[in-house]
Amino acid sequence: METTQLVKTWTIDPTHSEIHFKVKHMMVSTVTGSFDEFSGTVKSENDDFSDAEIEFSAGIDSVNTKNSDRDAHLKSDDFFNAAEYPELKFISSSFVKQGEDEYKLKGYLTIRDITKEVELDVLFNGQAVDPYGNTKAGFEITGKINRKDFGLKWSAVTEAGSIVVGDQIRLDLNVQLILG
């Protein structure tokens, strides 16, 4: 007799999650930004998430680098073009266990209507039940993308020849999921 496990649906808990990116500025410092509005779901039959199907989106208008002029520039057509492309999306294609708590997450990231396959490193921090009886799971997700691959091509050079904005974007996500 075959037993079938139920697919569990998890959602991102936005009050306990952070979606950050980092980029070189003037090639001498790093600027950190975040998306303040995002959502996502994870569907999995397995408690270790080895069969996870993941969908994620972030609102471009919520980009926040703690500088309103820079944020406005990022929302413009030089970068994200928030008016025409109001969100970025990610849909997983695989979530493969690499070690005890380490995974490789592959999927398709869409920014400005350009979709590219990306690969991210994931650390699974485990599961716990909070004081209110909710089951939570935590993950740290890191990776790199090239902004120009997604049409974020604005560039400038200083008088000294330094590039103002680097092409490589580091992704750093701390995600807490809640079951149900």
- Note down pLDDT in tens along the chain; length 180 residues: 555 679 999 999 999 999 999 998 766 678 999 999 999 999 999 989 989 999 999 999 999 999 999 999 999 999 999 999 999 999 999 999 999 999 999 999 999 999 999 999 999 999 999 999 999 999 999 999 999 999 988 776 555 554 567 889 999 999 999 999
**pLDDT at 27 (0 to 100):** 67
Residue 73: alpha-carbon gap to chain centroid: 20
Cβ-count burial 133-164 (b if 16+ within 10 Å, e if not) = eeebbbbebebebebeebbbeeeeeeeeeeee
Ordered by start, the domain boundaries in the chain are 8-179
Query: How is domain 8-179 classified at the CATH fold level?
Result: Lipocalin (2.40.128)
**pLDDT at 4 (0 to 100):** 62
DSSP-based three-state secondary structure for 129: strand
Question: Which residues of the chain form beta strands (DSSP E)?
Answer: 8-12, 18-25, 29-35, 38-44, 53-59, 63-64, 87-97, 102-111, 114-129, 135-146, 165-179
- The token duo for 24 is 């070189």
d(CA 21, CA 32): 6
